[in-house]
Amino acid sequence: MTAPAVRASAAAGAAGPARRLHLLFRIAADRYALDAGDIAEVLGLRAWKQVPGAPHWVAGMIERRGAAVPVIDMSALAGAGAHAPVTSTRLAMVRYRGGPDTQERLLGLILEHATETVHYDPADFQPHALDNSEARYLGPVLSDAHGMVQAVKVDDLLPAHVRALLFPASQGESADEVRQ
């Protein structure tokens, strides 16, 4: 084994078998975590095309490898206003499923202060006491040395009516499956 491979192997063992890599980002002063398994790639900000009639938090669409990909502004979705276009703001391309029987698609998320990755054990995230049906994408929380971190559930980001607007039914899905 080469020296870099030994270091990579040792680093993987240090993270622990149950620990998973997460990308941290902020909305205002609050910290959130995306499971790296949901992320296809992380890019700098790009120009996008507007989507007339979409909610204000749908920033638009970008072209990625020949396909149109919807882009969500996470700050706007959370009610904190539009994202700040600074160097630490990133565009994360995530694998969005939207339901157990739906096709995986790319969805772009504009994330502020998305410059740090950490390993967390998924079992350390605990349910929170709030039931916010308007923000089903907000998952359990954990506390670390820097305060609270809340998980974001990628597959719960879009309400059914927005999912139907951004991802019209494909051949493998009926219109009823998309509306659910």
More confident residue, 12 or 69: 69
Residue 44 has pLDDT above 60, yes or no: yes
In angstroms, the CA 18 to CA 27 distance is 27
In angstroms, the CA 55 to CA 45 distance is 20
Chain-centre distance for alpha carbon 143: 20
Residue 144 has pLDDT above 60, yes or no: yes
User: Is 90:141 a contact under the CB 8 Å cutoff?
Assistant: no
The number of beta carbons lying within 10 Å of the beta carbon of residue 4 is 8
Q: Identify the band that residue 177 occupies on the pLDDT scale cut at 50, 70 and 90.
A: very low
The 3-class secondary structure across 12-68, one letter per residue, is: HHHHCCCCEEEEEEEECCEEEEEEHHHEEEEEECCCCECCCCCCCCEEEEEEECCEE
Tokens of 166: 């951004």
More confident residue, 103 or 176: 103
**Closest residue by Cα to residue 149 from 133, 131, 129, 125:** 125
In angstroms, the CA 19 to CA 93 distance is 22
Helices (H), 65-173: 74-77, 160-166
- Token match 């820097």: residue? 146
Residue 6 has pLDDT above 80, yes or no: no
Residue 131 has pLDDT above 90, yes or no: no
Residue 68 has pLDDT above 90, yes or no: yes
Helices vs. strands in the chain: H and E counts, helices first: 4, 9
To the question of pTM greater than 0.95 for the whole model, the response is: no
Q: Considering the chain, what is the average pLDDT of its residues? A: 84
Tell me: the pLDDT tens digits for 74-126?
999 998 989 988 899 999 999 999 777 778 999 999 999 999 999 999 999 99
Q: Identify the band that residue 173 occupies on the pLDDT scale cut at 50, 70 and 90.
A: very low
What pLDDT is attached to residue 10?
Answer: 40
User: Is 138:34 a contact under the CB 8 Å cutoff?
Assistant: no
3-state SS class at 53: coil
Residue 133 has pLDDT above 80, yes or no: no
Q: Identify the band that residue 170 occupies on the pLDDT scale cut at 50, 70 and 90.
A: low
Supply the Cα-derived Rg of the chain in whole angstroms: 17
